[in-house]
Amino acid sequence: MAVLQAQGVGRRFGSRWVIRSLDMALEAGERVALLGPSGCGKTTLLNLLGGLDRPDEGMVLLEGEPLHRASPARLSVLRRTRLGTIFQFFHLIPTLTAEENIELPLRMLDWPEAAIRERCTALIRSVGLTHRATAWPAELSGGEMQRVAVARALAARPAVLLADEPTGNLDRSSGRAVLALLAELTEQEGSALVLVTHSEAAAGICHRVLRMEDGQFLAGPA
């Protein structure tokens, strides 16, 4: 069964359809890159896939569960446990250290303290930041901040990770390091990935590339 599915999904703002009749299916552990020009609807689609926004037509199913039928409380549970998100501007909490940022989603889920410590220690090692664990976000480089954000997004073992231009604000070498980590960690954790990007290099870490234009997928090579 697909972990994430869009069926005939569309979204309009006013009378203008920004996305129209989109179908996609993401298998467990599959990495898909979403490429397309600015304004074609990538972020809009990601917001629909993550249950942050509701489609005006069609539906999104997360592990078979239709998101448009989920109550706000259920959506919030799903967003904490089954989905992880990463953004271009990291969105770390500035008053928490690197490790506290990674621990936060697990604290919100009431994980036992020992399990939180164990998971966080393993994740911070996986992203190569053991020596920076107690640093504040302001003391970290952009690449380091994004590595913390990757660890945080994967902390609760989500089925799907949604990343919106996660390297858009990084220099090329930090960007490459973050991409390599994204591939390695999602593989290790068995999480699927939807990676919105402008970069063909970023698409290289994915199993499949979807090209979008004016709110529709272009037919590509099979």
Residue with smaller CB distance to Mg ion, 42 or 82: 42
CA angle centred on 204, ends 29 and 119, rounded to 5°: 40
Contact pick of 3, 4, 5, 41 for ligand ATP (by CB under 6 A) = 41
Q: Looking at the chain, how many residues does it have?
A: 222
116-144 exposure pattern, b = at least 16 Cβ within 10 A, e = fewer = beebbeebbebbebeebbebbbeebebbb
Please choose, out of 39-47, 49-57, 66-74, 97-105, the segment that lies near Mg ion by the rule CB under 5 A.
39-47
Contact pick of 5, 43, 174, 191 for Mg ion (by CB under 5 A) = 43
Smallest separation (angstroms) from ligand ATP to the CB of 189: 26
Q: Does 129 bind ligand ATP (CB under 6 A)?
A: no
Site string for ligand ATP, 5-34 (x = CB under 6 A): --------x----x----------------
83-86 sheet: strands from edge to edge? 83-86, 160-164, 192-197, 31-35, 208-213, 216-217
Q: Which residue's entry shows tokens 């889920």? A: 109
Per CB under 6 A, residues contacting ligand ATP are 13, 18, 36, 38-44
Per CB under 5 A, residues contacting Mg ion are 42-43
